């Protein structure tokens, strides 16, 4: 019997779902190399490989067989061939722009453990999709709002979440689309550098974000009485400010977010919060000439930085702070810890912190590749973003389930 790859689900799975991989028809204890390949929408190649040995029966099940040393990872890692994907072009990030088309994953099995791949024994293709059947993608152009709404299948009402991305502008839909598969009506909201929105805003107006909240609350398929916010980096900062100043925000999940206003001043009605001062000269060069910007902002808990602090004590929402202990862009663990101390001193208990070792600035849904060094979101120079491969893969899965549980509980 010729070797073949057995996948479950067979042809297609959601990007954040596990994929069971097995090879059958090998010789007893045969040594093989498994390789996965994926091309992003620009054609850039991501690959991972691992060395394995089949069982006495010629079967190789990645859920039971540990990878041997010498590949992209070793040990019992059933999803290693997905989470260990790395770009062939250095410092390249895997981004999904068109969530309506899946990524195509190629799997190959080669003879032996050599430096160069041996004879090709088996291959398979698999689609990693972002939309479950029946999930609706609705472009939203109402009033000033520029967004995309993802609605789960069916005519029910669903808990509503607004998903706000970080610095870089544009409209990012990958996280919102995946959340909709789990039963949330999710609005991916752009706030600059998209269509007719400002290219370089000199101020962010919370009234714009308030319009998005009202849009969600008036939608017949969004559960009342309030919405949740999921923000990453600058988007998390905006989400915290929304909770402090706007009504009907029930729950906020902040992913590696500042707790003070950074880069762009924020205003609501007649109040403007200034930004933390940024000192680019405080960047440090690592031995590889890559810059570390972790110390370039004023401390928001010390004068003069505290005038930029978001008044979270005014918020009625529940907070979930998801922070990486190796975040080199935002001091997210320090910020979350200190702001929760302030809330506690006010007699509040509306917060929890999930803190992960080995996690850098980027926190994406499960199985997105680690992006530890790349273009700094503000300075656009090569910078340390932080993170370690295996720790990141575990934390992504854990945090993703915790974020969903948090929103299910409070929405």
Rg (CA), the chain: 23
Residue (of 282, 189, 179, 296) closest to 242 by Cα position: 189
CB 5 within 8 A of CB 25: no
| Catalytic annotation, pick one of 165, 174, 219, 361 | 361
* Placement of tokens 């890692």 in the chain: 77
The two structure tokens encoding residue 91: 């410092």
CA distance 70 to 337: 39
Burial 83-121 (b: 16+ CB within 10 A, else e): bbbbbeeeebbbbbeebeebbebebbbbbebeeeeeeeb
Coil, strand, or helix at residue 406?
Answer: helix
327, 364, 376, 393: the catalytic one is 327
Max CA separation in the chain (angstroms): 75
User: 134 Cβ partners below 8 Å, 6+ apart?
Assistant: 152, 153, 154
Phi-psi region of 395 (alpha: psi -120 to 50; beta: other; left: phi over 0): alpha
Handedness of CA 340, 344, 346, 347 (dihedral sign): positive
Q: CA–CA separation, 39 vs 105, rounded Å?
A: 8
233 is catalytic: yes
Going by the DSSP 8-state scheme, the letter that residue 228 receives in this structure is E
298 part of the active site: no
Tell me how crowded residue 405 is: count the other CB atoms within 10 A of its CB: 11
Two tokens, residue 396 = 């992504």
Catalytic residue from among 172, 177, 233, 294: 233
**Which one, of 389, 324, 327, 392, lies nearest residue 353 by Cα?**
324
Query: Of all helices (H) and strands (E), which one includes residue 392?
Result: helix 389-410
Give the pair of three-digit tokens for residue 223.
Answer: 């559960």
Closest CA relative to residue 248, chosen from 210, 286, 277: 210
Question: What phi, psi does 272 have (nearest 5°)?
Answer: -120, 130
Judge contact between 166 and 234, C-beta under 8 A. yes
Phi, psi of 110 (to 5 degrees): -115, 150
Q: Of the candidates 202, 179, 207, which has an alpha carbon nearest to the alpha carbon of residue 192? A: 202
Q: Which residues are catalytic?
A: 233, 327, 361
């Amino acid at each position: 019997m010729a070797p073949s790859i057995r996948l479950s689900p067979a042809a297609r799975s959601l990007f954040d779902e596990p994929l069971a991989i097995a090879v059958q028809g090998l010789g007893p204890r045969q040594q093989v190399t498994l390789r996965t390949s994926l091309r992003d929408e620009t054609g850039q190649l991501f690959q991972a490989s691992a060395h394995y040995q089949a069982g006495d029966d010629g079967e190789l099940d990645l859920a039971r067989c540990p990878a041997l040393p010498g590949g992209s990872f070793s040990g019992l890692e059933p999803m290693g061939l997905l989470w260990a994907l790395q770009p062939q072009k250095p410092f390249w990030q895997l981004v999904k722009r068109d969530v309506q088309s899946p990524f195509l994953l190629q799997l190959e099995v080669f003879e032996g453990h050599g430096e160069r791949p041996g004879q090709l024994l088996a291959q398979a293709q698999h689609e990693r999709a972002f939309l479950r059947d029946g999930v609706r993608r609705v472009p939203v152009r109402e009033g000033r709002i520029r967004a995309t709404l993802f609605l789960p299948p069916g005519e029910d009402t669903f808990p509503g979440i607004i998903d706000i991305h970080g610095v870089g502008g544009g409209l990012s839909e990958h996280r919102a689309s995946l959340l909709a598969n789990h039963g949330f009506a999710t609005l991916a909201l752009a706030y600059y550098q998209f269509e007719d929105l400002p290219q370089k805003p000199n101020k962010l107006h919370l009234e714009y974000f308030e319009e998005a909240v009202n849009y969600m609350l008036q939608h017949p398929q969004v559960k009342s009485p309030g919405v949740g916010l999921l923000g990453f980096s600058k988007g998390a900062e905006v989400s915290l400010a929304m909770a402090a100043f706007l009504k009907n925000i029930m729950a906020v999940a902040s992913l590696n977010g500042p707790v003070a206003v950074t880069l762009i001043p924020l205003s609501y009605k007649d109040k403007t919060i200034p930004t933390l001062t940024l000192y680019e000269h405080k960047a440090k060069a690592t031995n590889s000439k890559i810059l570390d910007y972790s110390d370039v902002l004023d401390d928001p808990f010390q004068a003069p930085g505290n005038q930029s602090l978001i008044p979270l004590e005014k918020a009625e929402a529940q907070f979930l702070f998801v922070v990486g202990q190796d975040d080199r862009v935002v001091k997210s663990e320090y910020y979350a810890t200190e702001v929760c101390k302030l809330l506690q001193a006010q007699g509040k208990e509306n917060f929890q912190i999930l803190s992960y070792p080995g996690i850098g600035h980027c926190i994406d849904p499960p199985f997105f590749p680690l992006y530890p060094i790349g273009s700094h979101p503000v300075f656009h120079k090569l910078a340390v973003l932080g993170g370690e491969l295996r720790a990141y893969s575990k934390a992504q899965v854990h945090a993703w389930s915790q974020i969903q549980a948090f929103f299910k509980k409070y929405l």
